Amino acid sequence: MQTATIQQLQQAVKTATAAKQLQNFPPIDKENRSHVDTSCAAFHLCRKAQTLRAWACLENGPLRPIRVNGRLAWAVADIRRLLNGGI
């Protein structure tokens, strides 16, 4: 019986987590929605969702969301522009 080291277990968890995230969010260039939720926008911008919420609340970030029934919606076009060095 083989025993896994702590490092091997940690790597396995990281790999599984990364694979799960990739399944949940399509690449931004393949995104067909006009707006995405905060978790999806945060994933593509490599930021935590709370950072995007702070940008929305303080209105000091590079992107401004729209609010739909109290929820934040981030424009895919703005995310693409920001990732391509714009804005």
CB within 8 Å of 78: residues ≥ 6 apart: 63, 64, 87
The answer to whether residue 66 sits within a structural domain is: yes
The answer to whether residue 74 sits within a structural domain is: yes
The answer to whether residue 26 sits within a structural domain is: no
Q: Select from 81, 72, 80 the least CA-distant residue to 27.
A: 80
- List phi, psi (to 5°) of 74: -105, 130
Report pLDDT digits (tens) over 26-69: 899 999 999 999 999 999 999 999 999 999 999 999 999 999 99
The answer to whether residue 40 sits within a structural domain is: yes
Report pLDDT digits (tens) over 73-87: 999 999 999 999 876
- Please count the structural domains in the chain: 1
Compute and round to an integer the Cα radius of gyration of the chain.
16
The answer to whether residue 71 sits within a structural domain is: yes
- The tokens for 3 are 């025993």
Which residues span the domain enclosing 86?
31-87
